[in-house]
Amino acid sequence: MTATGEPVAVLGVGTMGHGMADSALRAGIPTIVWDRHPEATRELADRGAEVAQTAADAARRAGIVITMVPDADAVISIARDQGMLAALAPDAVWVQMSTIGLAGINEVMAMVVRDRPDVVLLDAPVSGSKDPAEQGQLIIFASGPQDARPRVTPLFDALGHRHVWVGPAGTGTRLKLVNNTWLAFGAEAVAASVALAHRLGLATETVIDALSGGPIVSPWQAAKLQRIATGDFSAQFALSLALKDVHLALQEAGADQLAVLACLADEWQRVVDDGLGDQDLTVVTRVLEQQAASGRSVPGLATVADVMRPALTTVEANGHLAAAAYLMKHAGETALLVIDEEHAKQPVGLITDADIARVVADREDPNQVRIHDLMTTDPTVVSPMTSIDDAARVMVAGHFRHLPVVGDAGLVGIVDIGDVCGALLDSPAG
């Protein structure tokens, strides 16, 4: 195929970047690759890619530069610390395709405006994993200046079967958070349903035969079911990266507003902590089955008192948000109960790390924001003797991540949805 004439640099050739660089090469696009692990570039060099020794060298030689790395810290390091941004030619196009969340893309946009206003930045994360990247079948959520569209269209055509332009830079990242939340629930539906099927004595093949072709199983889920059936948990989308994306969504929405997603994140975190984060996100199925085989089940007889945090830090309603943020950081709390000055035993509200994150995201000064302006008032409370099952139902129904625990003597602690999810996953049957 005839080359486009404008060289493209791909910075980061891991699972996704490798497939994307390969797709660009197949399309005849002159492709320069760089990775912090040089061995990752060898196959691409054999297929005709030029290998740069540094990120800055790659950027200097290309008119369009793609960053495809695991997180925002890696993107910032490449752009600033490793000299990529400074090395770009005037009018070069930086296509940021990593999933880095709103805080990450906002930092990238501010850096470009401040340091290289002569460079065009496109925020263009993708939907798809290893196979679509290798096959040039990604979906690209492109956002940024429309006048850059003709320059990147040949590249986007090579990388994806569809690219949609969704608005100004930053919009692509917002849509990616929605996409990944959808994907997380779709993956959990597969994992939990297959684990249940096995517990009921049904083979994975039976589930596939019964549900395939129906309206509730997407093509992506159907492919995951086939891999589970063959016991293939090699990473197409590593669980650790999927969990990172879930946390990015929770940071923006607030864990207390998406309680079920927060519970999913806690479940996945336990699997990652077991050393399985580098396997495909479908490995959750195997862990759920192992828990069922070990006799773990919903602990109907366990109570909130078993998992509550008794040494709860409190703050006064009239205090500053900055003080609450300091206490959370140094006490290791994700929520603080707010008390009034006259009745210290009775909570009047609740403030969480999500409340603080919203203030930071809005660029307000925490020293000027009062706790009572943000706290959740009249919080739902539970008794220490409330069952874990009932606490979970209250949290999910009310979108609560935290519940104050109140006994006969007043406030005695707090229960976090992570503690509840942990009890549901780990406790033996009562």
Q: Residues 270, 151: one domain? A: no
Taking the C-alpha atoms of residue 365 and residue 93, their distance in angstroms, rounded to an integer, is 34
Q: Are 10 and 23 in contact (CB under 8 A)?
A: no
Q: Residues 204, 244: one domain? A: yes
Q: Residues 66, 108: one domain? A: yes
Residue 327 lies in a domain: yes
Taking the C-alpha atoms of residue 255 and residue 420, their distance in angstroms, rounded to an integer, is 14
CATH number at residue 239: 1.10.1040.10
For the full predicted model, state whether its pTM sits above 0.85.
no
Q: Are 171 and 143 in contact (CB under 8 A)?
A: yes
pLDDT tens string, the chain, 430 residues long: the values are 444 569 999 999 999 999 999 999 999 999 999 999 999 999 999 999 999 999 999 999 999 999 999 999 999 999 999 999 999 999 999 999 999 999 999 999 999 999 999 999 999 999 999 999 999 999 999 999 999 999 999 999 999 999 999 999 999 999 999 999 999 999 999 999 998 998 888 999 999 999 999 999 999 999 999 999 988 999 999 999 999 999 999 988 876 678 889 889 988 988 898 889 999 999 999 888 776 655 544 444 468 887 777 656 778 888 888 888 888 777 667 777 777 766 555 667 778 777 777 777 676 777 778 888 877 765 678 888 888 878 887 877 777 778 888 777 667 778 887 777 767 665 544 3
User: Domain of 228?
Assistant: 175-293
Domain boundary (293, 316, 340) is at 293
Phi, psi for residue 11 in degrees, rounded to 5? -100, 110
Q: Residues 202, 153: one domain? A: no
Number of structural domains the chain divides into: 3
pLDDT at 283: 92
Q: Residues 164, 196: one domain? A: no
Q: Residues 258, 142: one domain? A: no
Residues 6+ apart with CB under 8 A from 334: 328, 352, 353, 401, 402, 416, 418
pLDDT at 296: 45
pLDDT at 312: 61
Residue 2 lies in a domain: no
Q: Residues 153, 194: one domain? A: no
In a 3-state reduction of DSSP, which class is residue 330? Answer: helix
